[in-house]
Amino acid sequence: MQETIEHLTNRLDRLNELLSNQDEKSTTLTGQIDHLRHRLNGIYQSHRDYAKLETILKELKIANKCSQLESKTGDQLSQDVKEEEIMLYYGDILENYSSMVELENMGYDSLIDKINVIISNSSIEDIRTELKSREEQIRKVHLIYRILVLKNMMIYEKYVASTINMNKFWLHVSQKLATANQELKKRHDKLKEDSRY
């Protein structure tokens, strides 16, 4: 943590030196604006993704929020640190862009308010009366469920019995084949012996 603070402090010092070493024409306000525009255009040309990020910010209408956040934090973070931060999360920003737009359009405040109203208006007594009014339906569903469980058990038992019978059949067939194979081998051997003589 201390190293990070020292690193950021060093960057701020270097930026202050760079800003103080600017030539005389850039000390005027219009000169500084021109310099910043030129620098921004250079960044956009070297990193075309920043232009996309700016359009995303405009579409999400959070550019003002970002500038407010920057003004609240003051000049604590240098531009390089901010650029690095954006580059770190650039993939996540592009990947989650559609989700962010969907969340922005969702109106989650009204959704939370509706949920809170439903929770505050319901009580345990209401739930009990609702269950009482649907008791007959619940019993029917429970009875149907038990019948289905029993039918499943019966089908499973029939399946197991069928599998056992099939195994017995194939064991019987394999035993008969083995017996027939032995008998055939004996006759074949006997025919060989007879043909020798």
In a domain, 117, yes or no: no
- Residue 69's pLDDT is 52
Stated pTM of the model? 0.32
User: Integer distance in angstroms from the first to the last C-alpha of the chain?
Assistant: 104
Residue with tokens 């850039």: 26
- Residue 65's pLDDT is 53
Number of domain units in the chain:
2
- Residue 11's pLDDT is 74
- Residue 67's pLDDT is 56
- Residue 103's pLDDT is 66
Q: Which of 54, 79, 111 is the last residue of a domain?
A: 111
pLDDT tens sequence across 105-144 = 766 667 777 777 777 777 777 777 877 888 899 889 889 9
Binned average pLDDT, 10 residues per bin, the chain of 197 residues: 70 69 58 77 74 72 55 60 74 75 68 74 75 87 90 90 91 93 92 81
Nearest one of 90, 101, 100 to 47, comparing CA atoms: 90
Same domain, 168 and 105: no
Question: Which residues constitute the domain of residue 135?
Answer: 124-196
Element holding 90 (H helix, E strand): helix 90-95
Q: Which of 111, 132, 166 is the last residue of a domain?
A: 111
Nearest one of 101, 103, 69 to 85, comparing CA atoms: 69
Same domain, 47 and 104: yes
